[in-house]
Amino acid sequence: MTTVHTTMDTPVGELTLVAGDGALTAIYFRSHKGLPDASTFGERSDADFAEAKRQLTEYFAGERTGFDLPLNPKGDTFQLKVWELLRKIPYGQTRTYGELARELGDPRLAQAVGSANGRNPISIVVPCHRVVGADGSLVGYAGGIERKRFLLELEEPAEATAARLF
């Protein structure tokens, strides 16, 4: 597999996008917890990421609520199942680790879901930021809690934002 990467500036800071064989394999924040060594990102190739950059730009502008990109995250079978569930969480909504564990058929898997969520390599596009603690608190985000808060507020419905103001 030929791996390439690019970077882009966003409202949450610089992102590094990594792809292999035409599919996105990772999106990392500069201060990402567990950031792999940059030597694994391959050569820089801005041309290979035009569509991903366009869709991310639209997302940050509030013009896009979902992504249509070829993805190839690397993980074990359980992680891949969790990451697929993350992609099904609608824009502007959240789920708890326990809710995702129940969707997988075993409420005792909440911690394992949290672990898999924390290892999601394709931040934002695979929306791990939409997973919150059982009490709705913002917990655990590889990009940091402030970025998680920003992304959730970006996705917040206009009515909810207006209700907070009054």
- 20 within domain boundaries: yes
Active site residue 128: yes
- 70 within domain boundaries: no
- 65 within domain boundaries: no
Q: Would the pLDDT of 161 be above 60?
A: no
The Cβ-side half-sphere exposure at 97, using a 13 Å CA radius, reads: 20
Rounded to whole angstroms, how far apart are CA atoms 72 and 101? 23
* Mean pLDDT computed over every residue of the chain: 90
Q: 147 and 103, same structural domain?
A: yes
Q: What is the pTM of this model?
A: 0.89
Distance of CA 138 to the CA centre of its chain: 15
Q: 36 and 86, same structural domain?
A: no
Q: 99 and 43, same structural domain?
A: no
Instruction: CATH number of the domain at 50, please.
Output: 3.30.160
Q: 161 and 86, same structural domain?
A: yes
Instruction: CATH number of the domain at 129, please.
Output: 1.10.10.10
Rounded to whole angstroms, how far apart are CA atoms 86 and 126? 6
The CA distances from residue 47 to 9, 34, 43, 76, 160, in Å, are: 16, 27, 12, 30, 38
Give the burial class of 104: count Cβ atoms within 10 A of its Cβ; 0-12 exposed, 13-18 middle, 19 or more buried: middle
Q: Would the pLDDT of 34 be above 90?
A: no
- 103 within domain boundaries: yes
Lowest mean per-residue pLDDT among 6-10, 27-31, 111-115: 27-31
Q: How many helices (H) and strands (E) does the chain have?
A: 6, 6
Strands 3-8 and 15-20: antiparallel
Total domains, the chain: 2
Q: Percentage of the chain surpassing pLDDT 90?
A: 70
The residue among 13, 28, 60 that closes a domain is 60
Q: 63, 154 in Cβ contact below 8 A?
A: no
- 147 within domain boundaries: yes
Q: Would the pLDDT of 1 be above 90?
A: no
Domain carrying residue 53: 3-60
Q: Would the pLDDT of 100 be above 80?
A: yes
Marked catalytic residue, from 128, 131, 132, 142: 128
Q: What pLDDT score was predicted for residue 158?
A: 59
User: Which tens digit of pLDDT belongs to each residue from 111-160?
Assistant: 999 999 999 999 999 999 999 988 888 887 777 788 999 999 999 875 55
